Amino acid sequence: MKKLFHPVTITLLVLCILIVLPLLLKRPEPILTDAQLREQALSTTMKPVPKTYEALLKVVDNPENPLSKEKIALGKTLFFDTRLSRDKSISCASCHNLEEGGDDNLPTAIGFHGGANPFHLNSPTVLNAALVKTQFWNGRAKDVEEQAGGPVQAPFEMNMTPKEIEKRLNADRKLTEQFKQIFGTEKITFENVRKAIGAYERTLLTRGAYDRFLEGDDNAISAAAKRGMTLFLTRGCKGCHGGMSVGGQSMQKFPLRRYLSEYIGLWFEPNIRLKESPFPFVNVGGFLGKDDAQIFRVPILRNVTKTAPYFHNGSVDKIEEVVRIMSKYQVGEEFNKEQIADVVEFLKTLEGELVAY
């Protein structure tokens, strides 16, 4: 019997379908007015950061650790106090530079005696961290108070124990008196050290152009940023990166999608080449998130343009590549260069200055 189609013809036809069909099915770019864009954000949990101390209390106050200006001031002192590290060379601020995005801009945290995090974990920002639901990449701490006790005890970070911290700080009479006035205890306890630092961290919120736009200033952000914000809101990014912090409200699988082309080297290649990393970048450190299930706390996007390198192991340097990866593997629709540029312009509007509460 005569063949109706040559194998090469069939292959070319399949290739054409695979290339053209996605283009035909591609969704048109939505166009929203400033009012519609603002309303779509505000109708979710994407709210502006409060301007006043009174408004701050309604957002971040902790019933288990009520805020007071005295406690916040004490926490600020401890945040910059190198006595919390064994060799008195490291403070909380060493890995969380408040002037540079609230992190250390290193691929992995460097601690006691120059030791690196054994899982090559990137330091998350402390800015706006009080707005999120869990702390650390695997979400193992419920709040900033609990998180504050982790790095000081980690042998590769500050390398101290609660007893050693209590002994060292109780030798300071002035500091002991401050704790007594605030917490009503005769001695400084490690629990109250955590609470004081946590109280200070609850005030580390930032405001910028994004907040002004949400509050009604149409000229606060550019046309490109508005296009990027539209993509962010309509393509599914806000599903994970929501809340006042624009992220950190949930634990999510990453990557959510994988593609056959990543597992197979070339079509019709005799030897199938499997991709070594479970991520779309090098698996430095081997960390796999909560329960080793590739589930991670969603990063905070406020000030994200200042916190390179990115992802849990700091394997990606450029924010543009981050947007491409997230659009492809989480959204399921890889953004083109123009879309990526617009989203980056939106992310720049999330940069902000610390509010002087």
Q: Which pair of structure tokens corresponds to residue 122? A: 């990137």
Q: What is the mean pLDDT of the chain?
A: 91
Task: Give the pLDDT confidence of 67-107 residue by residue, as tens digits.
Answer: 999 999 999 999 999 999 999 999 999 999 999 899 999 99
- Identify whether 157 is a catalytic site residue: yes
Give the pLDDT of residue 12. 54
Write down the pLDDT at residue 315: 97
Neighbours of 25 (CB within 10 A): 7
Instruction: Look at residue 43 and tell me whether its pLDDT is greater than 60.
Output: yes
Helix, strand, coil % in the chain, rounded to nearest 5: 45, 5, 50
Q: What pLDDT is attached to residue 262?
A: 73
Check residue 308 and give its pLDDT: 98
Q: Is the pLDDT of residue 24 over 50?
A: no
Question: What is the predicted pLDDT for the residue at 261?
Answer: 74
Strand partners, 97: 103
> Can you tell me the distance from the alpha carbon of 334 to that of 338, in angstroms, rounded to the nearest whole number?
12
Q: Does the pLDDT of residue 20 top 70, yes or no?
A: no
- Which pair of structure tokens corresponds to residue 268? 């019709």
pLDDT for residue 276: 79
Domain ranges of the chain: 27-49+207-352, 53-201
Confidence at residue 23, expressed as pLDDT on a 0 to 100 scale = 46
pLDDT digits 0-9 by tens, 186-200: 999 999 999 999 999
Please compute the mean of the pLDDT values over residues 202-226 and round it to a whole number.
98
DSSP string, 42-98: HTTT--PPPSSHHHHHHHH-BTTB---HHHHHHHHHHHT-GGGSTTS---HHHH-BT
Predicted confidence at residue 321, as pLDDT, reads 98
Catalytic residue, chosen from 157, 166, 201, 262, is: 157
pLDDT higher than 60, residue 348: yes
Would you say residue 349 has pLDDT above 80?
A: yes
Q: What is the dihedral of CA 118, 122, 128, 129, to 10 degrees?
A: -20
Half-sphere exposure of 347 (CA within 13 A, CB side): 24
pLDDT for residue 29: 74
- Identical topology for domains 27-49+207-352 and 53-201: yes
Q: Kindly report, residue by residue over 240-278, the tens digit of the pLDDT.
A: 999 999 999 999 999 999 887 776 554 544 454 556 799
pLDDT tens per residue, range 291-346: 999 999 999 999 999 999 999 999 999 999 999 999 999 999 999 999 999 999 99
Q: What CATH topology corresponds to 27-49+207-352?
A: Cytochrome Bc1 Complex; Chain D, domain 2 (1.10.760)
Which residue did the predictor score with more confidence, 222 or 19?
A: 222
Whole-structure pTM value: 0.89
Mean pLDDT of 201-225: 98
CATH number for the domain running over 53-201: 1.10.760.10
Between residues 261 and 167, the one the model is more confident about: 167
What tokens were used for 140? 């193992």
What distances in angstroms separate CA 355 from CA 191, 275, 326, one per listed residue? Answer: 27, 45, 30
Structure tokens at 83: 């006595």
**Residue 180 has what pLDDT?**
98
Q: DSSP letter for 206, please.
A: E
CA distance 40 to 334: 23
pLDDT (0 to 100) of residue 154 = 95
Q: What was the pLDDT predicted at 314?
A: 97
